[in-house]
Structure 1
Amino acid sequence: MNAVYLAALTIIFTACANPNAKKLDTATEGTIHISVDETYKPLIDSEIKVFQSLYPQAHIIPTYKPEVECFRDLLNDSARMVIVTRDLNAEERDYFDKVKIVPNSLLLAWDAVALVVNRSNPDSVLKMDQVRGIMDGSNKDRKWQIVFDNANSSTVRYIKDSINKGKPLPPGTMAAKTNPEVIDYVSKNKDAIGVIGVSWISDPSDSLTIDFTNKVTVVKLRADYGSDYVGPYQYYIGTGAYPLKRGLFYCLKEPYHGLGTGFATFLGSYEGQLVIKQFRLFPARSNVVFREANLK
């Protein structure tokens, strides 16, 4: 009994002597910094707005940057949570095993990469063979100026890995600083083809999205074994008819049930998936039913 009493007194006196001890955040309260692939800025800004309206004591501060830098932040403890276009790879999981940390990751949605061209460009409908030829430089039918948002972005990695299969991008490929700058460049250059995240052009209720889609033309693509040319729209992303499809993931490194866990749970919840649906991505954590409709 005396030992228990002394232990309790020790805890009380320690707390009194340390009034400024840092209070841990909880699933719905506190402040955290997260790193987010910049192609998801419109979507994640909206997710944070909804989450913080539900939990006013929660403060999530995002930094939008190239995907390579997001993973660097996760590994060096600059961010406990990242929102990116791929899951942790084997090398990253080996690192966490060595430092005795168990990370958590989850597929939240199916996303897509969009191609945009100048409004005066007649080549706004492409087969995948043509896309591959443009991206590796073997297409000599016409001059193309490829523009990405950033040299280290997820869109560059996606094109190199999934489209070029390791082949380099052609000489003269440009890297702007942001997705809006890609759209601005394409709107002013007839031979440009921009590669951007689809969430920048997928919210029809947003004035910025409307402005972007009025400046450029979104390219329609035909998959290798498809018969129709389709745009990067929710239905075609979900069915796989649109060929430039990729995932949206969160990766979380949190040693306790804190605000990162709370926000991650929200993103996979009904409310979080509704926001994803609004941005015309295809939710991975909720059931979506397709229905045929007759337009008269």
Structure 2
Amino acid sequence: MKVLQILLYLAVPFVLVSCQSKPLEQQTYTSGKEQILVDESFAPIIEDQAYLFESTYSGAKLDLVMKSENELLNLFLSDSIQVAIVSRLLNAEETKHFESKNIKVRINRFAIDGIALITHNSSKYANADVSDIIKILKGEASSLESLVFDNANSSTVRYFKELAAIEVLPAAGIYALKSNSDVIKYVNDNPGSIGVVGVNWMVQPPVQLEKTVAELKILGVKNISGQPGSDAYYKPTQNDIALGMYPLTRSLYVINCEGGAGLGTGFASFIAGERGQRIVLKSGLLPDSIPSREINIVN
């Protein structure tokens, strides 16, 4: 009986430690299974990153959970998934949530995304002014007839609300669908509309959307007077983003709350490393660190 009591006594802390570290069970930086929350608005590039990561490390399996920003953050703050890829930093309240649990938050910026305004090739629109974008978002008279967003809870909608300094979108002229794919299809079917998507969806669209994207064009955008990019219409090219001339940009981050040596940490390091940054470069986004190039000179 005494031996049994001793064994039970020893088992209790073991169980507690195991429960606490369950998300990292059987994980290393390059092996194991991990769920990763991903903002749906830049899903294509993260799918590419995950594919190459898993191809490089055969023992790694990533389960990408695609959500709108609001849905994603609700899951993240419930501690059900410990790694999130988002387009904004945590606010003070969100940071406090993790600090209160003694969880160290690790943040890696890995890219700068250009938010593209798209329309059908037959559309009368070729350019747009930020001032007119703000007007239509405020429900005021604008040269733009409509803007079509991916999702009412998306990071893209949040970005444009902040741009226009509004809390609620107007009832007229603004439409929210369910996804970026839906926006692309809608704009193709409605030539007078202007869609709002991450530029990666236009540079490297899913295979099933390639023919549709070929029928669309990206508008040039001019910034508000006095701001960089107010002298001409710029497009979300890597060059214009790097020079700070394209006005509609956002940083992309991996936010990691694993608190240890897990697969999510390995994936974050991979994205920030040279191979991951080359994928960013290929995707049309601007890498956080430009990958080096080797030039062989043959005599």
Superposed, 1:14-29 pairs within 5 Å as 23-29=25-31
Partner SS, residue 41 of structure 2: helix
Contact 1:110 1:281 in 2 (8 A): yes
* Structure-1-length-normalised TM-score: 0.84
Amino acid at match of 1:275: I
Contact 1:112 1:232 in 2 (8 A): yes
Cα RMSD over matched residues? 2.6
Q: CA deviation at 1:287?
A: 5.8
Q: What is the number of residues matched between the two proteins?
A: 273
Amino acid at match of 1:136: K
Match of 1:232 among 236, 241, 248: 236
Is residue 214 from structure 1 mapped to residue 218 from structure 2 by the alignment?
no
Match of 1:246 among 240, 245, 250: 250
Q: CA deviation at 1:196?
A: 1.0
Q: Give structure 1 stretches of 5+ with no counterpart.
A: 1-6, 290-296
Is residue 174 from structure 1 mapped to residue 175 from structure 2 by the alignment?
yes
Is residue 275 from structure 1 mapped to residue 276 from structure 2 by the alignment?
no
Contact 1:202 1:279 in 2 (8 A): yes
Amino acid at match of 1:24: Q
- 2:297 aligns with none
* CA–CA distance in structure 1, aligned partners of residues 118 and 54 of structure 2: 33
- 1:4 aligns with none
Contact 2:114 2:250 in 1 (8 A): yes
Judged with a 3 Å threshold, the aligned counterparts in structure 2 of structure 1 residues 39 and 252 are, in CA distance, closer, same or farther, namely: same
Amino acid at match of 2:157: V
- 2:290 aligns with 286
Contact 2:149 2:176 in 1 (8 A): yes
Amino acid at match of 1:151: A
Render the CA deviation track for 1:249-274: whole Å, top value 9, x for unaligned: 01111121110111011011000111
Amino acid at match of 2:267: F
Contact 2:277 2:291 in 1 (8 A): no
* CA–CA distance in structure 1, aligned partners of residues 126 and 176 of structure 2: 21
* CA–CA distance in structure 1, aligned partners of residues 99 and 167 of structure 2: 32
* Structure-2-length-normalised TM-score: 0.84
Render the CA deviation track for 1:27-67: whole Å, top value 9, x for unaligned: 11100111100011110110001101110000001011101
- 2:201 aligns with 200
Partner SS, residue 192 of structure 1: coil
Runs (4+) of structure 1 exceeding 6 A deviation are: none
Contact 2:37 2:83 in 1 (8 A): yes
State, as a whole percentage, how many aligned pairs show the same letter.
Answer: 33
